[in-house]
Amino acid sequence: MPQSTDTPDLFTPLRLGAIELPNRVIMAPMTRSRAGAGNCPTELTADYYAQRASAGLIITEATQVCDTAQGYPNTPGIHTDAQTHAWRAVAEAVHTAGGRIVTQLWHVGRISHPLFQPNGAAPLAPSAIAAKGQLYTGAGMEPFPMPRALETDEIPALVRHFADAAKRAVFDAGLDGVEIHAANGYLIDQFLRDRTNIRSDRYGGSVENRCRFLLEILEATAHAVGADRIGVRLSPTGVFNDMGDSDPLPHFLSITQALNPFSLAYLHVIEGRPGHHMAPPEGAPHVAAALRAAFKGPFILNGGYSRTDADATLAKGEADAVSFGEPFISNPDLPLRFRTDAPLAEADRNSYYGGTAKGYTDYPALESVAA
């Protein structure tokens, strides 16, 4: 697709690797905790995403790559045949509705509980450092448990799980690609940042070592499905899930530079706008602009953007696209509403996680719009 040389706006088409987007209003990944038996997406999941097919790209909720990857109730996986089959129905529904959809692949690492682990084992992590705080198990809140530090020789199997999940996603389920979730304090991010990675093997210590797990995952997934169907998500300054890093700007610049040789479909960075729950804490550096300059590929920003913020961000060249989370929950036709300056519906927070069609597939699209 020829890219316009004019200043882009949210409605300028964009190519992300192998995926052609008709607009730059991307649906951000959001956990909705409505998977069915066996952590399979359901017909409701297919309806939900199909209703949002006018997004330039849908990035699904985070999806487990293996049976140690889960940390919340009713989040979907893509490591069993039944899950893969169920994702196929989601992909078909979105494609039939004219959309594009990639699935976000995650392993939660220490953000889990023995209740979610095979045989009630401790969750896995780069280092035995428990997150401060509590997690929701489905039966109430529990303190985060002490995770078990992975042995060096356990890591290749985890890398393979990401590659196998990517293969299932693209070749078996027919999704358009995958986003590797390396953000928000989950397993890959736990390797990247020095607050959670104090390993002394080749996966810890220097930033080169801390990003080895991510790079091995990218090598394996790119080999499996092609780098032009793979995006990566980073949250360099986020503190969600008790995260932190001693020097995020140089560390994440190195990590971003290490991504360049892969020619990925995109890099997706969360650096929340002021007041957003994923905003860098008071006094913390902002690094997104430096990562944008360092990354040689399409760059997506996320974190509480309004339509006006997003327009300004694209006009200034600070990103190629913006992803929107909560607005997509309550406005299935968000691109149309932006294009026509229609009012946005408010999302009901009480129905974000779990439950039924209520607060999931019952937000109406605009029936008609004044010309």
**Which residues are identified as catalytic?**
186
Let me know the angle formed at the C-alpha of 70 by 65 and 74, rounded to the nearest 5 degrees.
105
Minimum distance of ligand PHB from residue 62's CB (angstroms): 5
Q: Name the residue with the smallest CB distance to ligand PHB.
A: 31
Of the candidate residues 10, 21, 27, 31, the single one contacting ligand PHB (CB under 6 A): 31
Minimum distance of ligand PHB from residue 273's CB (angstroms): 16
Q: Does 127 bind ligand PHB (CB under 6 A)?
A: no
Residue 350 to residue 371: CA distance in whole angstroms: 34
Residue 93 to residue 208: CA distance in whole angstroms: 41
Minimum distance of ligand PHB from residue 132's CB (angstroms): 16
Six-digit token pair at 282? 């008071």
Q: Does 184 bind ligand PHB (CB under 6 A)?
A: yes
With b for 16 or more beta-carbon neighbours within 10 A and e for fewer, the 92-131 pattern comes to ebbbebebbbbbbbbbbbbbbbeebbeeeebbbbbbebeb
Q: Which is nearer to ligand PHB, 183 or 300 (CB)?
A: 183
With b for 16 or more beta-carbon neighbours within 10 A and e for fewer, the 188-200 pattern comes to bbbbbbbebbebe
Of the candidate residues 62, 159, 264, 287, the single one contacting ligand PHB (CB under 6 A): 62
Minimum distance of ligand PHB from residue 235's CB (angstroms): 8
Q: Which is nearer to ligand PHB, 12 or 104 (CB)?
A: 104
Q: Which is nearer to ligand PHB, 10 or 182 (CB)?
A: 182
Six-digit token pair at 7? 């200043």
CB atoms within 10 A of CB 157: 11
Q: How far apart, in Å, do the first and last CA atoms of the chain sit?
A: 28
Minimum distance of ligand PHB from residue 72's CB (angstroms): 6
Q: Which is nearer to ligand PHB, 31 or 117 (CB)?
A: 31
Torsion angle of C-alpha atoms 369, 356, 141, 114, degrees rounded to 10: -120
In the three-class reduction of DSSP (H, G, I as helix; E, B as strand; rest coil), residue 125 is classed as: strand
Are 110 and 130 in contact, with CB atoms under 8 Å apart? yes
> What's at 223, amino acid-wise?
H
Of the candidate residues 48, 49, 72, 213, the single one contacting ligand PHB (CB under 6 A): 72
Q: Does 144 bind ligand PHB (CB under 6 A)?
A: no
Q: Which is nearer to ligand PHB, 262 or 352 (CB)?
A: 352
Contact positions vs ligand PHB (CB under 6 A):
31, 62, 72, 183-184
